[in-house]
Amino acid sequence: MSLLDIENLKVYFATRAGIVRAVDGVDLNVGIGEVLGLAGESGSGKTTLGYALMRVLPRNAKLDGRIIFEGRDLLSFSATEFNRVRGREIAMVFQGSMNSLNPVVRVEDQVAEPLILHGGLSEDEAKKRARELLAEVGVSEDKAKSYPHELSGGLKQRVAIAMAISTRPKLLIADEPTTALDVVTQAQILRLISELRDRFGLSVIMISHDLSLLSEVCDRLAIMYAGKIVEVGSKVEVVNTPEHPYTQALLASIPSVERVGVDSPSIPGEPPDPINPPSGCRFMPRCAYARSECKEFNGYLYELSSTHRAACVLVGGKPIERVPR
Which residues within the stretch 145-174 sit at the binding site for other proteins (CB under 8 A)? 152-155
239 binds other proteins (CB under 8 A): yes
Angstrom distance (rounded) from CA 50 to CA 9: 12
Applying CB under 8 A, which part among 20-28, 84-92, 223-231, 248-256 lies near other proteins? 248-256
| Binds other proteins (CB under 8 A): choice among 190, 202, 205, 224 | 190
Amino acid, res. 40? G
17 binds other proteins (CB under 8 A): no
User: Residues 285, 246: contact at Cβ < 8 Å?
Assistant: no
103 binds other proteins (CB under 8 A): no
Helix, strand or coil for residue 24? strand
Complex with other proteins: residue 37 or 65, whichever CB lies closer: 37
| DSSP code of residue 305 | S
Q: How many residues does the chain have?
A: 325
- Residue 229 CB, shortest distance to other proteins, in Å, is 17
Which residues within the stretch 264-303 sit at the binding site for other proteins (CB under 8 A)? 264-267, 270
Complex with other proteins: residue 167 or 234, whichever CB lies closer: 234
Residue 193: its H or E element: helix 183-200
Task: Indicate the burial class of 310 (C-beta count within 10 angstroms; 0-12, 13-18, 19 or more).
Answer: buried
215 binds other proteins (CB under 8 A): yes
118-141 core/surface letters (b: 16 or more CB in 10 A; e: else): eeebeeeebbebbbebbebbbbee
Kindly state the number of chain residues that form the binding site for other proteins, as judged by CB under 8 A: 47
Binding site residues, other proteins, CB under 8 A: 41-42, 152-155, 182-188, 190-191, 194, 209-213, 215-217, 235-236, 239-240, 249-251, 253-267, 270
